Chain A
Amino acid sequence: MTRRESARDFLRRFARNKGAVVGSGIVAIVVLVALLAPLVHPQSPWDMVQRPFLPPFTQEGVPFGTDTLGRDIFAGILYGAQISLLVGLVSTLVALSIGVTIGALAGYYGGLIDDALMRTTEFFQTIPNFALAIVLVAIFQPSITSVIVAIGVVSWPPVARLVRGEFLSLRSREFVQAARVIGQSNRTIITSQILPNTVSPIIVMASLMIAQAILLESALSFLGLGDPNTMSWGYMIGAARTVLRQAWWMSFFPGVAILLTVLALNLVGEGLNDALNPRLARKGR
């Protein structure tokens, strides 16, 4: 089977999961929205454009209405997509780089190194994610960087455990022993022999982590711990919660945006799982 055939095979298995196709469609729309936001709506989402408390679908140009200060909710949704995706992607990368490193070292070397690293991992796991994220953001001052770092730092332990498990089972495989016998260094064995064989479960996990990170970011902004200079979905809901009964639309639209994005990412993750895991099971055949 050539590369192209196996890619086609992958797409076929992915497409068999209908939810995953719908999910990737939604994700594609969100990405598009984030990229096109400055073109569709060149004005800053913080600008007041209309009278406050304007209900949705009543005025040309402000389809989702305005918030308590007369800012365009539609613009907020557009720009919020940018921040959500940015935080989701970057913080997942941060979490992956910590988690994969720790998991790989623990799983490959075993023994005392494994013990030390896994106890550290468990230490992080015992602290509730969200509480730790709040503390970190509060200490480092709310900014986009501190939010990303905080989310990354609280989400790596599951990655480490997953990667460690994969390494534990792969390191005793004969091809790894063969690499040791021909004199490859441990670093080469970890990065070029074992790691490529663990990418499938890591990719699946990463897609779910992006969703998780978007939720965490929204929750932080909801509490007012987001970057004060960026419009985000969580912030919009947080700002609108006091007027929930008078102006449902202010929290409804960003809420739906979060719901759809997170749901779509989860569906994609599931589809990736379906598409990648049979390959895992058939690996080496």
Chain B
Amino acid sequence: MAQTPSDPLIAIRNLSVSLPPGAERPYAVEDVSFDLHHNEILCVVGESGSGKSISANAVMGLLPKPHVRPTAGEIWFEGRDLLQVSEAEMQDLRGSRMGMIFQEPMTALNPLMRIGEQIAEVFDAHGAHGRRARRDKMVELLRDVGLPEPDTLGESYPFRLSGGQRQRVMIAMALALEPSVLIADEPTTALDVTTQAQILNLIKTIQAQRQMGVMFITHDFGVVAEIADRVAVMQLGKVVEIGTAEEVLNAPKHSYTRRLIAAVPNFDPPRRDPVQGTPVLSVDKLDKIYVTGRGLFTKGRRTHAAQAVSFDIRRGETLGLVGESGSGKSTVGRCIVRLLDADGGAIRFGELDFAKLTSQELRQQRKHVQMVFQDPYASLNPRRKIGRIIAEGPIAHGTSEADAMARAKDLLRLVGLDAGAAERYPHEFSGGQRQRVGIARALALDPELLVADEPVSALDVSVQAQVLDLLNDIKQRLDLALLFITHDLRVAAQVCDRIAVMKLGEIVELGDTHSVFTNPQHAYTKELLAAVPGRHWSIPEVALQAAGKARPEA
């Protein structure tokens, strides 16, 4: 099969990949066909379990055989069917003709090998270049991916590099032998938003320079809007819609695509009336210092995780605490619920200074503030029934077991679960359902304030929308105050009345969400907002209609 430039670079035809027996469906990928052309970025987008990563791994020949293996179809690349070639040939193609980058840059590099050696391994594996030429090539690569001091960086070990820099090294390795195809599996998901913007930019630039075909796997429609030329949408192992980015993003045809896009939180915050009333919680000059590496005689390194943090939250109000990793937003949340003890400042609920309570008094006063955790898998004890998990709080405060269990069932109904769930164990529920249980547990003590620490970050976008709706509904129904900690500015735009932007332990800007988003004052806020992927794309009307949502007044 001779190829001309107009032929697709990779042609996937009727690909099916089987799952081991006993899995929730027989095929991970079923009868999937699509092309990757020269000089384009194809985004494969879908929720978890949609088969998007499996498709990418099938192309690279990286499926965990024998349990997961292709059973039908063809993958044509440079005149060969990749499903038919031998493992040795495949090894030859990987790295040289096809490069791949992964999600987790922190674990993708060998911590005991210098950066340079790891890049050299790619050349080694394919016997390319002489010793001198390799070094030059490596420096050139490191420069291309925008790493500082490319001449000496090869001598460094991975731990000296940040997550973004490691991802750049991974990209350099993938590009080392100038492949014609780059497969990127969620390469920016683990990165902060500003770093993500840089890496997306880098992938786009390099793709254009080298005229590569890039297959970009992601779950994030913002990222799709940022870099895609074409988009393939996958659902439960099938491609439901494929088209140019313009078509899919602004005029989605398939109902699933519409629902998915409608669930993406819009970047424009709606105008909201300021919430009146007296503050439920006043945080005043909260300080938290982490001391690391302190010994008997050494002072250790001091990090200000929170520095003079002050804010109020009123009844019925949602305050968003946003920032990148390491900004101290979670630390502040944990100090407020007293999982951490603050080093200074006051946390007042009315007259009560929560920060000053002894552990005995604290246990009595826990009912003021409760917390919703991030990870729905780790936040429920795997050996306890759901009902018991929710009832534990009231029981600890002296409610009789029968009353507490009855209340747990009411709460389950309140968060949209069946009361029968009380008798089941956490592993029988999906992530979104577990997060509902987490919310029910937090409500069991009738708190005035809920601290939600990234409550939807671990969830798929459609589930995310449901949980956010639930939180909002409950907040209004029970007239709660909500401290919403998130790194996702799209989510913050939709749920928060006011927003506090944190950087290195300090609040750099605090104001109502609409004015912070439309007219940011601090340079860092501007930088953060500019980095949000797909910020110029707004959710199309067709999608919102399909989901039965009216566009909120902008």
Contacts and interface: CB of A to CB of B under 8 A. Distances in A.
Contact of A179 (B362, B374, B392): B392
A175 B397 contact: no
B229 to A, nearest CB: 37
A1 B441 CA distance: 23
Interface string B408-441: 0000000000000000011110000000001001
B286 interface: no
A187 B456 CA distance: 31
Interface string B100-126: 000000000000000000000000000
Interface string A251-285: 00000000000000000000000000000000111
B393 A182 contact: yes
Interface in A63-95: none
Interface in A41-72: none
Interface centre among A1, A174, A181, A183 (most CB of B within 10 A): A181
B379 interface: yes
Interface in B332-387: 337, 339, 362-364, 366-367, 370-371, 373-375, 377-383
Contact of B377 (A185, A188, A285): A285
Nearest to A175: B381
Nearest to A3: B425
Interface in B85-103: none
A24 to B, nearest CB: 25
B373 A182 contact: no
Contacts of A174: 373-375, 378-379
Size class of B's contact patch?
A: 20 to 34
Contacts of A181: 337, 339, 366, 370-371, 442
A188 B366 CA distance: 16
Given A1-B428, A183-B363, A284 B382 contact: yes
Contacts of A193: 381
Given A1-B427, A174-B374, A285-B427, A182 B396 contact: yes
Contacts of B392: 179, 182, 184
A283 B381 CA distance: 10
B379 A178 contact: yes
B141 to A, nearest CB: 38
Given A181-B337, A181-B370, A182-B441, A175 B379 contact: yes
A32 B392 CA distance: 43
Contacts, number: 70
Nearest to B390: A182
Nearest to B438: A178
Interface string A163-198: 000000000011101111111110010000100110
B405 interface: no
Interface in A123-170: none
B370 A197 contact: no
* Chain A interface main SS type: helix
A185 B382 CA distance: 20
B377 A178 contact: no
Interface string A189-226: 00001001100000000000000000000000000000
Interface string A236-259: 000000000000000000000000
B482 interface: no
B444 interface: yes
Contacts of B337: 181
A177 B373 CA distance: 9
A179 B396 CA distance: 10
A285 B428 CA distance: 9
A193 B396 CA distance: 13
Contacts of B383: 196-197
| Chain A interface residue bracket vs B | 20 to 34
Interface in A6-24: none
A197 B384 CA distance: 10
Contacts of B438: 178
A60 B373 CA distance: 73
B445 interface: yes
Contacts of A285: 377, 427
A283 B380 CA distance: 11
B387 to A, nearest CB: 14
Contact of A182 (B378, B426, B444): B444
A197 B438 CA distance: 19
Most chain A CB inside 10 Å of its own CB: which residue of B363, B380, B392:
B392
Given A174-B374, A177-B339, A182-B393, A197 B445 contact: no
B396 A197 contact: no
A182 B339 contact: no
Given A180-B339, A182-B445, A175 B427 contact: no
Interface core residue of B371, B444, B445 (most chain A CB under 10 Å)? B371
Contacts of A184: 392-393, 396
Interface in B37-80: none
Contact of B366 (A182, A196, A284): A182
Contact of B396 (A175, A188, A283): A188
B340 to A, nearest CB: 10
A178 B441 contact: yes
Contacts of B393: 182-184
A11 to B, nearest CB: 18
Q: Chain B CB within 10 Å — which of A177, A188, A196 has the most?
A: A177
Contacts of B425: 1
A132 B67 CA distance: 52
A174 B438 CA distance: 11
B366 A183 contact: yes
Nearest to A195: B383
Contacts of A178: 371, 373, 379-380, 438, 441
Given A182-B393, A184-B392, 10 more contacts: A1-B425, A175-B380, A178-B371, A178-B380, A181-B371, A182-B392, A182-B444, A183-B366, A183-B393, A197-B381
Interface of B: 337, 339, 362-364, 366-367, 370-371, 373-375, 377-383, 392-393, 396-397, 425-428, 438, 441-442, 444-445
14 contacts: A175-B381, A178-B379, A178-B380, A181-B339, A181-B371, A182-B370, A182-B393, A182-B441, A182-B445, A183-B396, A184-B392, A184-B396, A197-B382, A284-B380
